[in-house]
Amino acid sequence: MSNDLINQLETRLAALTPESLSVEDESHLHAGHAGNRDGASHFRVHIVAPCFENKPMIAQHRLVYDLLRDLMPYPIHALALHTKAPHKGNS
C-alpha cells in the first residue's frame, strides 16, 4: 500500500507544478506508535515549487494540505513537510 500512497501523493502534488519532489515513507520509523497501529502511514515530503514564491511557510504548507486533506488522518497519519520556492540564481 505504501507505493500506492506514494504514487497518489506524487500525483496530487503534481498540481503544484514542482521543480523537484520527493516523497519518503517513514512508517517503519514509527512502528508501535499509536498512529501507526491501524496501518496509517508516515511520510516526509520535500517539494520545491514556484507557487511557494513570496509565501510564508504556513501558506506553503496549506497549499500542500489542501491537496491531501481527505487522506488524513487515514491512510496518512503524519506528514513532515519541507517546502520552498526555487532559488533564482544569476545565471
Task: Please write the tens of the pLDDT for every residue from 9-67.
Answer: 999 999 999 999 999 998 866 555 554 555 568 899 999 999 999 999 999 999 999 99
73 pLDDT band, cuts 50/70/90, is confident
In a domain, 89, yes or no: no
Max distance between CA atoms of the chain, in angstroms, equals 50
Question: Is the residue at 91 inside a domain?
Answer: no
Is 74 among the domain residues? yes
Task: Please indicate, yes or no, if residue 90 is contained in any of the structural domains.
Answer: no
Report pLDDT for 21: 98
Q: CA distances (Å), 76 to each of 5, 17, 19, 44, 50, in order?
A: 8, 22, 24, 11, 26
pLDDT of 30 reads 54
In a domain, 7, yes or no: yes
Q: Domain tally for the chain?
A: 1
pLDDT at 8 over 80: yes
Q: Which three cell numbers stand for residue 51?
A: 507557487
CATH of the domain at 17: 3.30.300.90
State the DSSP code for 21. E
Domain limits at 74? 2-84
**Nearest Cα to Cα of residue 79 among 1, 6, 3:** 6
Q: Is residue 36 part of a domain?
A: yes
* CA gap 73, 84 in Å, rounded: 24
